Amino acid sequence: MQQPYNTEQFNEILLCRRSIYPYQYVKGKAIPNEIVWQILENANRAPNHKQTEPWRFSVFSGEGLKYFGQLQVDIYRKFSGENYQQDRHKKLIEYPLMSSHIIAIGMKRSAADKLPEIEEIEAVACAVQNMFLSVTAYGLGCYWTTAGITYFDEAKSYFGLESEDKLLGFLYMGYVEKPVTAISKRKPISDKVNWIDNINGTKSLD
């Protein structure tokens, strides 16, 4: 039976997916908006319980990157308290300007059937993985960060979120200046799998 898709190429995309940081992007080169929209459409196809589609995205590009950077430092300066770090303050300003687009990642709670919150968060994480793989397939780079203002309740309203919702971080995107060829390190999958295929419920011998 012929496979409907090129599984070898898909497996290669999975192998090559990795975090690529803004300082590794080509400065000043913008990803076409139509590609970003397709990446968002791919995110919209993530699995989700009861079809709640809890992912919410705010996209910053062009001059919006300056707005985002200033918004971050204003919120961070105001609400970080004794956890304030000058190095982080500097990164919150500089990283956006190194990027082509930044996507704020939110989880919107369903007003109808209240699912466990963790299921909604898991659905959003699946949407982000779809974006990660799409970015890799386009030969671009991205980085999902939860640093900065991610867990500040005061930041939610700036991204269309309410108190019961979650801000889950930011996806920085850009063209990669120097292609990354090394595959990300992983321990063998066999170390993390318990495979049961008999009536006794015991692990089979190799």
Q: Is 89 annotated as a binding residue?
A: no
Q: Is 145 annotated as a binding residue?
A: yes
Q: Is 56 annotated as a binding residue?
A: no
How many other β-carbons are positioned within 10 Å of the β-carbon of residue 170? 25
How many other β-carbons are positioned within 10 Å of the β-carbon of residue 22? 22
Calpha distance 169→55 (Å, rounded): 12
Q: Is 163 annotated as a binding residue?
A: no
Radius of gyration of the chain (CA): 20
- Check residue 169 and give left, alpha or beta (phi > 0: left; psi -120 to 50: alpha): left
Q: Is 88 annotated as a binding residue?
A: no
Q: Is 146 annotated as a binding residue?
A: yes
Q: Is 77 annotated as a binding residue?
A: no
Q: Is 17 annotated as a binding residue?
A: yes
Look up residue 116 and give its DSSP letter: -
- Check residue 51 and give left, alpha or beta (phi > 0: left; psi -120 to 50: alpha): left
Find tokens 């304030």 and name the residue: 84
> Helix, strand, or coil here: 155?
helix
Residues of the binding site: 17-19, 45, 49, 144-146
Residues of the binding site for FMN: 17-19, 45, 49, 144-146
